[in-house]
């Protein structure tokens, strides 16, 4: 009969903490299993009050504040904050986003997420332009989130001007051109989207 193996719970908990640190404070069941930690052990930490289940297959450390913006992206790595939401993060909009604008590759299915989050406004784009301008910043709640850079945001609102609130559009354009605009990058993006001439017009006026 083989001797009973002793489980080093301190080492396991350290692994879980490391996973959380690398994942914006979140722990996924798939990450736990990949680290060689069993589901019963995961349940044990939930029962002990050290882990909080926030969504199916997703947990946070009990003593950590949950950033709602980061939580949404933890459920789908393809979600990128864009339009009014990204403009708010960049300080280019004074309007607190009650509706969260997100961009995804065309064909992405997040139906369950949309059911759980009715305040989502989804923008679907071709894969070729989905990656253009993706960067990271801290959300208003302190977590790191992925969003489009300022130049991509400007291109998006110019492309969809007829669907953008006038106040949001005007503030975004004015704020961008008065705060260290990267005209070279903006024109590069504009060429990709076929709106280079429109961008040059705004550059001349502002």
Of all residues in the chain, what percent carry a pLDDT higher than 90? 82
CA–CA distance from 8 to each of 14, 20, 86, 111 (Å)?
A: 10, 19, 44, 40
Spatial separation of the C-alpha atoms in residues 29 and 167, rounded to whole Å: 43
pLDDT tens figures, 130-181? 999 999 999 999 999 999 999 999 999 999 999 999 999 999 999 999 999 9
Residues ≥6 apart with Cβ < 8 Å to 93: 84, 87, 168, 171, 172
Domains in the chain, please, with CATH?
Answer: 7-65 (1.10.10), 76-202 (no CATH)
- Which two tokens mark 194? 């076929």
pLDDT tens figures, 83-124? 999 999 999 999 999 999 999 999 999 999 999 899 999 999
Spatial separation of the C-alpha atoms in residues 147 and 150, rounded to whole Å: 9
pTM of the model: 0.88
CA–CA distance from 57 to each of 46, 75, 146 (Å)?
A: 12, 9, 21
């Amino acid at each position: 009969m083989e001797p009973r193996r002793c489980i080093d719970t301190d080492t396991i908990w350290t692994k879980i903490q490391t996973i959380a640190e690398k994942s914006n404070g979140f722990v996924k069941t798939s990450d736990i299993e990949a680290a060689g930690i069993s589901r019963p052990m995961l349940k044990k930490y939930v029962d002990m009050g050290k882990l909080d289940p926030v969504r199916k297959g997703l947990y946070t450390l009990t003593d950590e504040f949950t950033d709602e913006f980061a939580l949404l992206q933890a459920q789908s790595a393809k979600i990128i904050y864009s339009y009014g939401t990204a403009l708010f993060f960049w300080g280019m909009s004074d309007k607190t986003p009650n509706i969260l604008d997100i961009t995804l590759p065309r064909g992405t299915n997040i139906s369950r997420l949309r059911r759980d989050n009715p305040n989502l406004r989804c923008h679907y784009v071709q894969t070729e332009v989905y990656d253009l301008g993706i960067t990271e910043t801290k959300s208003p709640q302190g977590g790191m989130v992925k969003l489009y850079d300022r130049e991509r945001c400007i291109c998006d609102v110019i492309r969809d001007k007829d669907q953008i609130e006038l106040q949001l559009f005007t503030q975004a354009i004015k704020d961008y051109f008065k705060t260290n605009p990267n005209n070279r990058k903006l024109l590069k993006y504009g060429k990709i989207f076929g709106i280079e001439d429109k961008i040059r017009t705004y550059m001349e006026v502002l």
